[in-house]
Amino acid sequence: MIQDLKSNARALSIETAHGKIDTPVFMPVGTLGTVKGVMQEQLKESIDAQIILGNTYHLYLRPSPEIIQQAGGLHQFMSWNRPILTDSGGYQVFSLAGRRKIEEQGVEFKSHIDGSLHLFTPEKVAIIQRLIGADIMMAFDECPPYPVSYDQAKLSMERTHRWLERGLKSFHDSSPFHGYNQVFIPIAQGSVFSDLREKSAEYVCRTDSPINAIGGLSVGEPKDLMYQMTQIVCSILPKDKPRYLMGVGTPENILECIALGVDMFDCVMPTRNARNGMLFTMDGTINLKNRKWKSDFSALDHHKYSPVGTKYSKAYLRHLFSVNELLGKQIASIHNLAFYVWLTKEARNRIIDGSFASWKNKIVKSLVNRL
C-alpha cells in the first residue's frame, strides 16, 4: 500500500481470479450483463476498465441464474475475462420501495417485469451470486432511504448485521460453481448517524473480510453528510484492506472520497447522464442539448483520456441527440466512462508520486463548472 502524505488517499492492488485491480478504481455498472451502449471490446481496449458490475436482482429475473450457470458463468456468458463484482440486490430494497416487503427472513419483491413474487434471503442471494460466478460477491443488506429516523436506521442496521452472518454462513457452506475463487464482502450501514456508522464499521471489521464496503450513502443526503459518514467509517475499517463506497458518484465526490481513504467506486451516472446528453470533462460538465453547441465545431474534449473526445465535435454530437440517433448516446457513454476510469487512474498516479492532494484541490474546482 502507498499512502498519500497529505491525505488518507491510498494506492492498493487487489488480486482476483480474473486479474489484478489497481486502486483507486472506478467500476462501470453493467446491471444486466452489459454496460449500456458499450461493447466489451470497447470497455477493455478503449476505456480500459479493470472491473465491471452486475446486479443480482436483475440477473436473477433475466436471464436467470440457471441460464448464466449453463453458459459457464457471467464472464463466459458476456465474453468478459476481467473481474466482475455483483451487487446483492440490497440497493433494490431502497429503489423498489413500492414493490417490496421487508421481513426478518428476507425481502419479498414484486417483479417490475411481470408482477410475480420473489423472496430474497441472505442465503439465497449468496447462492445466486455463486451461480453467476462474480469474483466479488456483496452481502445482502438493507439500504434505508434518506431521510430516515434514528430508530428506523438502527433497526435497519441491526437487521443488515444479522443478514450478514447468515449470508457468510451460506457462502462458507457452499463452493464455487465455476472452478475459481470468489470473495464475500460485508457492507457497513447506519444512514447519517455517526454512532450507528461507528457500530456498523466495527461489526464489519470483525468479519475479517478481504474487502469492506460502505453502503446507504448517495441516496439523497447532502454531500457534506456523505463525506462525514465516509470519513467515520474509513477511520475504523482496516487500513490494509480495500474500501468500497457503493453508488458514488460525481467526479468531485469520487476525488473527495479518495482523499478520505476510499479505494473502489461505482455509479450509473457516467452512462445514464451520457444518454441524456451530459458529458463529464476535466474542465466541467457539458449539456450537449443546449443550443449554444449547435455551431460549435470544436472537439468534445481536447484532453487525451477520451478515445472519442478529439474525433467528434460538440455540434455533431448535439445533432445526433437532436435527431435521437443512438450513436450519440454511445459516443457520450464511451467518453464519460473513459473520463471516470482515467480520473481514478490519474488519482493513483498522483498518490504514488506524492502530488495527489494539490492536484485534487486544483482539479475539483474545474470539475464542478457548467460549461
By annotation, the residues acting in catalysis are 87, 266
Q: What is the dihedral of CA 34, 94, 203, 55, to 10 degrees?
A: -10
Query: Which amino acid belongs to residue 364?
Result: V
Nearest residue to 229 via CA among 248, 211, 206, 208: 248
- H or E segment and range at residue 161: helix 150-173
Cα 159-31-85 angle, rounded to 5 deg: 65
> Which ranges of 16-73 does DSSP label H, i.e. alpha helix?
40-42, 56-61, 65-70
Are β-strands 212-214 and 187-188 bridged in parallel, bridged antiparallel, or unpaired? parallel
Q: Check if the beta carbon of residue 225 is closer than 8 Å to that of residue 248.
A: no
Query: What span, in angstroms and rounded, lies between the C-alpha atoms of 253 and 343?
Result: 12
Listed in order, strand segments (DSSP E) in the chain are 2-3, 10-11, 13-16, 19-22, 25-27, 52-55, 84-87, 100-102, 107-110, 117-120, 136-138, 183-185, 187-188, 212-214, 243-245, 264-266, 278-281, 284-287
d(CA 148, CA 157): 12
Where are any strands of DSSP class E within 111-263?
117-120, 136-138, 183-185, 187-188, 212-214, 243-245
Amino acid at 104: E
